[in-house]
A = this chain, B = another copy of it.
Amino acid sequence: MKILITSGGTTEKIDSVRGITNHATGSLGKHIAEIFLEKGYQVTLVTTKQAVKPNEHPLLTVHTITNVESLLTTLEPLVKNHDVFIHSMAVSDYTPVYMTGLSEVESAHRVSDLLQRHNTETKISSKDDYQVLFLKKTPKVISLVNTWNPDITLIGFKLLVGVSKEELFAIARKSLQKNKARYIVANDLTEIDENHHHAYMLDESNVYEADTKESIASLIFERVTNHD
């Protein structure tokens, strides 16, 4: 059984010096990778340069990506030849299209015309008091997994902020069905700090719970290997 894990957060470039980053340390993905490696499984980790990573290990292969585009290109062949995919990476949901001063937006005949423009400078000028950045939705990586490999066991993640347990569960179960995931790990940013990480792991009828990154990793390991 080959295990594919993503960790860290993607960055979408605005220009050659600035980018929009999804904050994620990569430490949960590191714990998950470590437990599978310890138990003798072959692990492929897709992560970012900034993310914390497990130590080198004979069973570990690491691929480094930057943005959603490079994530998609890297993942497609990997999803096709792995048995389990644990997608803990924080993926950018929008990517920059065009950045300009407020005055160009105010004087545009139709604001949507600006979506056809592109920045030609490599470092966008910083003269205006206000700037406007147009962004477009990125492809939802998790929704493509089943089309790439319908047989893979998919573990998805859902991070929300300050919602009720009911709302968290409802959104997680929707993701479970929509993406044909085996489990969704649902967590709330307000319940995550340096030492704690509260999460629920849900399928259609069960809910498992964990309180630290280590115990989330153990729980995922147990659930995944239980279905061997």
Contact = CB atoms under 8 A, between A and B. Distances in A.
Interface of A: 11, 14-23, 50, 90, 92-94, 97, 102, 105-106, 110-112, 115, 121-123, 126, 128-137, 159-162, 189
A112 B135 CA distance: 18
Given A17-B161, A23-B19, A162-B122, A136 B130 contact: yes
Contacts of A18: 20-23, 92
Copies in the complex: 2
A17 B11 CA distance: 12
A21 to B, nearest CB: 5
B137 A115 contact: no
A123 B189 contact: yes
Contacts of A105: 105, 111
A110 B115 contact: no
Contact of A17 (B110, B132, B136, B189): B189
A140 to B, nearest CB: 10
Given A111-B105, A130-B134, A21 B22 contact: no
Given A106-B110, A135-B131, A126 B94 contact: yes
A224 to B, nearest CB: 26
Given A93-B126, A128-B137, A132-B135, 4 more contacts: A106-B111, A123-B189, A130-B134, A130-B136
B123 A130 contact: no
A136 B128 CA distance: 8
A93 to B, nearest CB: 4
User: Lowest 7 A-B CB distances belong to which pairs?
Assistant: A122-B161, A93-B126, A123-B161, A133-B133, A21-B21, A131-B135, A106-B111
Nearest to A138: B126
9 contacts: A17-B189, A20-B20, A21-B21, A97-B130, A111-B111, A122-B189, A129-B136, A129-B137, A130-B134
Contacts of A22: 17-18
Contact of A19 (B17, B21, B131): B21
Contacts of A21: 11, 18-21
A50 to B, nearest CB: 6
